[in-house]
Structure 1
Amino acid sequence: MSNSTRLYTKGLILGYKRGLRNQHTNTSLIRIEGVNNKNETEFYLGKRVAYIYRAQKKTKATLRKTRNASKFRVMWGKVTRSHGNSGVVRAKFRHNLPPKSMGATVHVMLYPSRV
């Protein structure tokens, strides 16, 4: 029997930060599972966020004839602050998330810790 520890919690991409007329694509809004108010978001500030998606082609590892080639790719980001009072957080990704990612799930990692 293995003792596995959980390294992430699920999140949902809601969209970009926006006003009435303009949207700011450099900041994404994420709802974290089990977080329902502004006080509960405090734990997640500074945590890493991974958007995992599947591409058509395998990675370039196939060109080097290695076995660990995969069609899965990851876009990394970081939770920056809370957004509103209902437990939604803002996250900035190294590369802006594509519009196709809206409604998709993300992994909100439980590291790094802010002790």
Structure 2
Amino acid sequence: MFSSFFVFGGEPFLAHYYATVPELADDQGRQPVVWVDTYEQGYALPVASTVDRLFDTYSRYLEELVAHEDFKADGAAALRFQWRMPHLLARDERLVQLIREGRFDTWLPGQEGRDWAAKVIAARERLV
């Protein structure tokens, strides 16, 4: 299922990691990034149109995380990056376009993934 991904980040011995999707590269060779969870059923969520966009979006997530009222008590559990940040992912126009075109549907986790993708698209529409 994930054999076409190129893994570039994650922590050893955990069931999730970041990977690029070469088959979805743009005309300049830039590849979108997915967060892959290989635990049980396995799925992948799109998180950025390029690695550079991932780092930009993740830095904005960290800013929101440390400002969150539950951060001192819960740490990173206060906000889950991919699932709770559709408004940040929506800033990435190409990522939203790929989601809208259904380019990641194969790897989404069923209805929960489709609902999440719809939230990212809706957040993008509120931005423009």
Q: Which TM-score applies when normalising by structure 2?
A: 0.25
Larger radius of gyration: 1
> Greater strand share, 1 or 2?
1
> Greater helix share, 1 or 2?
2
